[in-house]
Amino acid sequence: MLKLPTTIAPDWRVEPGLTDYETAIATMQARIAAIKAGNAKELIWLVEHPPLYTAGTSAKPEDLQDARFPTYAAGRGGQWTYHGPGQRVVYCMMDLGRPHGRVPAQDVRAFVHGLEDWMIASLAKFGVKGETREGRVGIWVVNGKAEEQKIGAIGVRVSRGISWHGMALNIHPDLSHFSGIVPCGIREHGVTSLEALGVSASMAEVDAVLAQTFGQVFG
């Protein structure tokens, strides 16, 4: 069972199996409505999806190079993203009208930076140095060939002051599936995973680390 620090305010839910994307969207929409109405707590929802591509609000049609998997208009910020087995997707439904640890209220940019810091802190627990890059949302690593590769994607949407969507961390997905798109519109750099970096970690181990490091940022 996932052990969570007692200081974490949101509910945490780890979804077993593979979650249909349309079901995930409907579930998030219902939850943010309940949070806004004061009928539910904030929620951190950890899922895996079957192979699919999602288009953010800035996605370019030409960046979908091979529609081998179902495609969805996500409505979040960003461009094309792949989701699939072996990738931990973390959906964050949080009330941005109040502060969360180091993230002040009403500051979407600071919230996105908080997600970046959270992923970086989690990667550090596995001995991986995650970094941000000016003009590129997400988390990057430098491999043994001195190549920059993306290991984590971030894309959020805010509705009625409540965040949804969130971030995706590549643990052991099939990296060849990313070749159907130009991930996040960036052609000059590839993608990687913990497995490709030589780190053997289970989904449960990553979940435990995410729970451990959440409070370092969001308090």
Check 55, 119, 184, 209 and give the catalytic one.
184
Tell me how far apart the alpha carbons of residues 117 and 106 are, in angstroms, rounded to a whole number.
18
Q: Is 92 a catalytic residue?
A: no
Give the C-alpha separation, 104 to 53, whole Å.
32
Strand stretches in the chain, DSSP E: 11-14, 43-47, 52-55, 71-73, 80-83, 87-93, 131-133, 136-142, 148-159, 162-170, 190-191
Helix (H) and strand (E) counts in the chain: 3, 11
Nearest to 166, CA basis, from 156, 153, 152: 156
**Which residues are catalytically annotated?**
184
